[in-house]
Structure 1
Amino acid sequence: MPDAPARVVLFGREGCHLCEEARVVIADVCARTGDTWREVDVDRPGDAAGGRDLAGELGELVPVVEVDGVRQGYWRIDGGHLLRALSRPRPTP
């Protein structure tokens, strides 16, 4: 699935120390599983697909991590939980 969207999305913001920690966890887990991930800055409206107001929607929950569009955690990201979520098959469209 070379053109498939990233399985993991990190919603964060610049200057957020928890977001820095989440990046490390996500990069490590995705390197082990071979899954792709991307980051969306909630404070930059152009980063959100579909014109979502992410700053209003996610507020102070950042960092927030989704796998296949399903929220998996926020604030402190658990690598074990993320690994389990990625072990499930990707949903078919």
Structure 2
Amino acid sequence: MRLFQRSGGTPVTVTLVGKPGCHLCDDARAIVSAVAAETGATVEELDITAEDFDPAQKAEYWEQIPVTLVNGRRHDFWRVDRDRLRKAIAQAARG
């Protein structure tokens, strides 16, 4: 079942902020990828350890990775709930 069709709503991007070697990030990535595939959302990943990562966001997110954002708005941290993410994507798609 597809909750979001790109042609029928606002494009949705789910951003996963994590770091290499983070097992919670790996778990979150699997859920985010699966839900994005179901809903048609785009996924982007940001490495919090990258030199060009925003210092203010690094300070805010460092103790909470993985952090997920939906269209740039903070959605969740540490764990990702499939149903909650689906609902957030559907809501973002409606504008």
Question: TM-score per shorter chain, which class?
Answer: 0.7 to 0.9
2:65 alignment partner, one of 62, 84, 89: 62
Structure 1 position 60, deviation (Å): 1.2
**2-structure distance, mates of 1:38, 1:60:** 20
- Long gaps (5+) in structure 1: none
8 Å CA contact retained: 1:68, 1:90: no
Kindly, what percent of the aligned residue pairs are identical?
Answer: 37
**2-structure distance, mates of 1:19, 1:83:** 18
| Alignment of 1:75 onto 2:81 | no
Structure 1 position 45, deviation (Å): 2.5
Residues paired across the two proteins, number:
85
- Long gaps (5+) in structure 2: 1-5
Q: How high is the TM-score relative to the length of structure 1?
A: 0.81
Question: CA-atom RMSD, angstroms?
Answer: 2.0
